[in-house]
Amino acid sequence: MNRIDDRFARLRALGRKGFVVYIGGGDPDLEATRQLAIAFDRAGVDVLEIGVPFSDPLADGLVNQLAAQRGLESGTTPPKILETIRAIRREAQIPLVLYVYFNLLHRCGVAQFIRDAAAAGVDGLLVLDLPPEESDNYEALMREAGLAVIYLVAPTTPEDRIALIVKRATGFIYYVSREGVTGMQAKVSDTIGTMTAKIRAHSALPIAVGFGISTPEQAAEVARNAEAVVVGSAIVNQIARLGRAPDMVAQVTAFTKSLMAGVNR
């Protein structure tokens, strides 16, 4: 069983909600990415999304754009990300998702990238700019490799298109709770309950809600309407603040634990 499916099955059996973390790959360097992944696994993070640095990250706000820039500056490439994941897999079995733009898959060769990702220990891909209408071959390759095909649903997605998207997704549905790009927000959207209900009308897959969640209180509020809470920018911001400080991993993990505590209050 794919690690993502296994993790959500276990959470469901325990009556618990999941916690998903996003970090930029290679920020500030790939050794930090490896150490953070292992620390998150030990802390109980349920899924880790690793952003593959890209020069034009259209779905990302300033915090994650800067993380991508730092990743590029540290020499991070898709092959090096996969090499780091192989190193992570020697010590941790945390479910891993690559958050990636299609240009990078195209440049590497879609079939080759998917095969290499699966062999390295990746569990799913979230390709930000690949709509399901254009992804038949991609989905077939992903199924063959045993990887989860994770798609986004936005607040502006009409219900007929929600039905199309979730029918083709596997692993979990990522519900983007706000229009626009990633980034911390003062409060969570008041339409999460309505939209997650629309998604559930068409799929039994777990729903992970992200974009804008940055405090334990916000995480608790979102968890009432979702199977998992996704936090990215708030954690990436801590990595940016601490940089290469000797205790960066410990401090970021402690901050992450404070957010996790809100999810299963």
**pTM, rounded to two decimals:** 0.95
Question: Residue 2 and residue 125: Cα distance in Å, rounded?
Answer: 12
Under 8 Å between Cβ of 23 and 51: yes
Residue 98: which residues within 8 A CB-CB, separation 6 or more? 49, 50, 51, 52, 81, 117, 122, 124, 125, 126
Query: What residues does each domain of the chain span?
Result: 3-260
**What's the rounded Cα separation, in Å, for the pair 131 and 242?**
36
Written as six digits, the tokens of 57 are: 């990250």
Note the pLDDT tens digit of each residue in 80-128: 999 999 999 999 999 999 999 999 999 999 999 999 999 999 999 999 9
144 is catalytic: no
Active-site choice (5, 41, 49, 116): 49
Indicate the pairing of strand 173-176 with strand 152-153: parallel
Q: Is the pLDDT of residue 166 over 80?
A: yes
Q: Is the pLDDT of residue 12 over 70?
A: yes
**Catalytic residue (one of 29, 46, 60, 221):** 60
Residue 188 pLDDT grade (very low, low, confident, very high; cuts 50, 70, 90) = low
- H or E element at residue 49: strand 47-51
Residues 215 and 184: their CA atoms lie apart, in Å, by 9
Q: Note the pLDDT of residue 187.
A: 56
pLDDT in tens, 49-73: 999 999 998 878 889 999 999 999 9
Mean pLDDT in residue range 133-157:
95
The class of domain 3-260 in CATH terms is alpha beta
Give the closest residue to 48 by CA, choosing from 60, 61, 57, 35.
35
CA-based nearest residue to 55, from 43, 70, 68: 68
Q: Is 60 annotated in the active site?
A: yes
Measuring CA to CA, how many Å separate 77 from each of 25, 65, 99, 108, 239? 9, 16, 13, 10, 19
